[in-house]
Amino acid sequence: MKAVGSSIAVLPGDGIGPEVVAAALRILDRVAQRGGLSVDRETGLIGGAAIEEAGHPFPPATEDLVHQADAVLLGAVGGPQWANSQVTPEQGLLSLRSSLGLFANIRPFEVFPGLEQASPLRRPPRRGVIVRELLGGLYFGTPRGRSSRSDAVVEAIDTARYTVPEIERIARIGFEMAERQGVPLVSVDKANVLETSKLWRETVTTMGEEFPRVPLIHRYVDAAAMEMVIAPERYQVVIAENLFGDILSDLAGGLVGSLGVMGSATVRQWEPGPGLYEPIHGSAPDIAGRGVSNPLGAIWSVGMMMEWSFGLSDAAETIYGAVRRTVADGVLTPDLGGTATTEDVTESVLNHLG
């Protein structure tokens, strides 16, 4: 197992990114120490912080660093000060993802015991996972950009593009996950309008023949957004293209009470291997620097790193359990209606780790 002597690239980024990453690293260190793992970690620049210090949101030194690492832990990027820059922090994040070639973004959601009142997820199972395609669609398609037409009207273009192999590889992960859990697979698209979605639905349907035990449900994204609010228990394993997965995973953050508790793993395989781990939330400029950001999404992401990059499911479960018990104790940051600080929550998770 590749756990002893693992190396992790740490990219704190902007806004609350450094706060939640610092908390997550304390958990990582404790778990590593308890499990006798030696984890080398090296910090790099990404996003707005990298624009300021290196003139680029994903500098070559960061690219080298992440390619040498076994796993990458990222905070968040972006902020109002760069919203209109020519090169944005968000472009750095997209370059990081595509440079690593990791396409399957796994975003679990779960209503923690104690937070049932904050959630429309009233019936069990109170959890699910969005498997978001991360390297295609409108985020990366070309042509894209802005131009002035001959009549001087300014226009902007984005291109949605998917190939059959790109759809197959993400669909396969979704089917396998649904099969392991013994639940239906919900595939989200807009096949009543979009060409990419028609291809998506066709390809997913064909792949379904390889998974006869997995009931396959297709939903248009608009209807899925509605149904995830009124009957979220039907959405246990969801596959979606890049933009739809982005939107529905924030919706899932709303379902469980806060964006701040959701972590993610981005991988390209089932076996332990390279991965990128990030909470799904952004840099939250509205609360940055006040010490009240919720670190649970970043901490959960460290659990996912144990599971997906190092094959250490026990260590992962220990972290998830400590997160659940922290919430059950009512140690909650303001996004969950509490008055705890980032530090209080981190200490509580550490205590529950033992």
Active-site positions read: 139, 190, 222, 246, 250
The answer to whether the beta carbons of residues 258 and 295 sit under 8 Å apart is: no
Name the binder of 297 from Mn ion, ligand IPM, ligand NAD, none, CB < 5-8 A by kind: ligand NAD
146: its two tokens: 């802005």
Q: Which residues make up the interface to Mn ion (CB under 5 A)?
A: 246
Measure the CA–CA gap between 57 and 19, rounded to whole angstroms. Answer: 19
Write the CA distances from 82 to 13, 19, 49, 239, 293, integer angstroms: 13, 20, 10, 32, 21
Residues near 328 by beta carbon (within 8 Å), at least 6 away in sequence: 112, 113, 114
**In the bound complex, which residue of the shown chain has the CB atom lying closest to Mn ion?**
246
Q: Which value, to the nearest 10 degrees, does the dihedral of the CA atoms of residues 196, 202, 206, 207 take?
A: 30
| Cβ-based nearer residue to ligand IPM, 72 or 280 | 280
**Which amino acid is residue 165, in one-letter code?**
P
Residues that bind ligand NAD (CB under 6 A): 16, 20, 76-79, 90, 93, 259-260, 278, 281-287, 293-294, 297, 333, 335
Query: Is 27 or 72 the residue whose CB approaches Mn ion more closely?
Result: 72
Of 94 and 225, CB closest to ligand IPM: 94
φ, ψ for residue 52, nearest 5 deg: -65, -45
79 binds, among Mn ion, ligand NAD, ligand IPM, none (CB under 5 to 8 A by kind): ligand NAD
Q: Which does 260 bind (CB under 5 to 8 A by kind): ligand IPM, Mn ion, ligand NAD, none?
A: ligand NAD
Footprint of ligand IPM (CB under 6 A): 78, 90, 93-94, 246, 280, 282
CB 349 to ligand NAD: min, Å: 14
Q: How far is the CB of 277 from ligand IPM (least distance, A)?
A: 12
**Residue closer to Mn ion (CB basis): 19 or 246:** 246
Cα–Cα dist 199/165, whole Å: 11
